[in-house]
Amino acid sequence: EPEVTQTPSHQVTQMGQEVILRCVPISNHLYFYWYRQILGQKVEFLVSFYNNEISEKSEIFDDQFSVERPDGSNFTLKIRSTKLEDSAMYFCASSAGTLIDTQYFGPGTRLTVL
Amino acid sequence: AQTVTQSQPEMSVQEAETVTLSCTYDTSENNYYLFWYKQPPSRQMILVIRQEAYKQQNATENRFSVNFQKAAKSFSLKISDSQLGDTAMYFCAFTRDDKIIFGKGTRLHILP
């Protein structure tokens, strides 16, 4: 069964450093998403992406964040200058067809900012 | 505001028992989708069951079923014949437009 994959599974970085989290969505999906879950808290929407542009973003997704689909398979989330409060689990998701179709989640990347 | 409320932060039941997790949500939309996601200790998000708001029939998926009450904006999950592998965090969620809105979750322990 096709699945969303994410790399790395765990990333440790120093505050102020740039990180890139990578995702490979399900191959025939057209809509891509990033969510964040701070430890012990609920999952929060960050951004959605369709047709090579951002469709919607939350207030969390400030200028430090960017997303890109550099080729036909990868979908990346870049944090330009990490802060301690960026430490969280980051989930990529993808969906086929309509905007409100089922979103399938990847296994997540645990980001630790020291 | 669009919110999801899960009033049970934590629950424990014996293996093979039936357990119901409650969820209420608030939206002004008429067309949306509702989900229950399971998050085991590995922290992966696994879709358990989905319900389209325009369908009156409650969704079922093997041992998992929902009780969807649209007027009351209630969407509870029933797990029958619970198994040890059901131990996880369960998130109720609904989606509109481009995003999923999650509740804070219910931590479910299945006891041997």
> CB A99 to CB B105 under 8 A?
no
pLDDT at position A100 is 60
pLDDT digits (tens, 9 = 90+) for A29-84: 989 999 999 988 889 999 999 989 999 999 999 999 999 998 878 999 999 999 99
% pLDDT > 90, chain A? 75
Interface check A112 vs B, CB under 8 A: no
- pLDDT, residue B45, reads 87
Q: Tokens 């790395």 appear where?
A: A8
CA distances from B63 to A57, B11, B86, B92 (A): 36, 18, 11, 17
Contact B69, A14 (CB under 8 A): no
Establish if B46 touches chain A: CB-CB under 8 angstroms: yes
| Per-chain mean pLDDT for chain A | 92
Q: Provide the pLDDT for residue B1.
A: 60
Model confidence at A97: pLDDT above 90: no
For residue A4, is pLDDT > 60?
yes
Q: Tell me what the mean pLDDT of segment A87-91 comes to.
A: 96
Min Cα separation A61/chain B (Å): 13
Asked whether the predicted pLDDT for residue A95 surpasses 80, the reply is: yes
Query: pLDDT tens digits for B14-56?
Result: 999 999 999 999 988 888 889 999 999 888 888 999 999 988 8
Q: What is the mean pLDDT of residues A102-111?
A: 91
What is the distance between the alpha carbons of residues A15 and B98, in angstroms, rounded to a whole number?
31
- What is the pLDDT, as a whole number, of residue A99? 54
Asked if A56 reaches chain B (Cβ–Cβ under 8 Å), the answer is yes
Looking at residue B2, its pLDDT comes to 66
Q: pLDDT at position B27, please?
A: 87
Sheet holding A65-68, edge to edge: A5-7, A19-24, A75-79, A65-68
- Hey, are the CB atoms on B43 and A108 less than 8 Å from each other? yes
Q: How does DSSP assign chain A, residue by residue?
A: ----EEE-SEEEE-TT--EEEEEE--TT--EEEEEEE-TTS-EEEEEEEETTEEEEE-TT--TTEEEE--SSS-EEEEESS--GGG-EEEEEEEE-SSTTSPPEE---EEEEE-
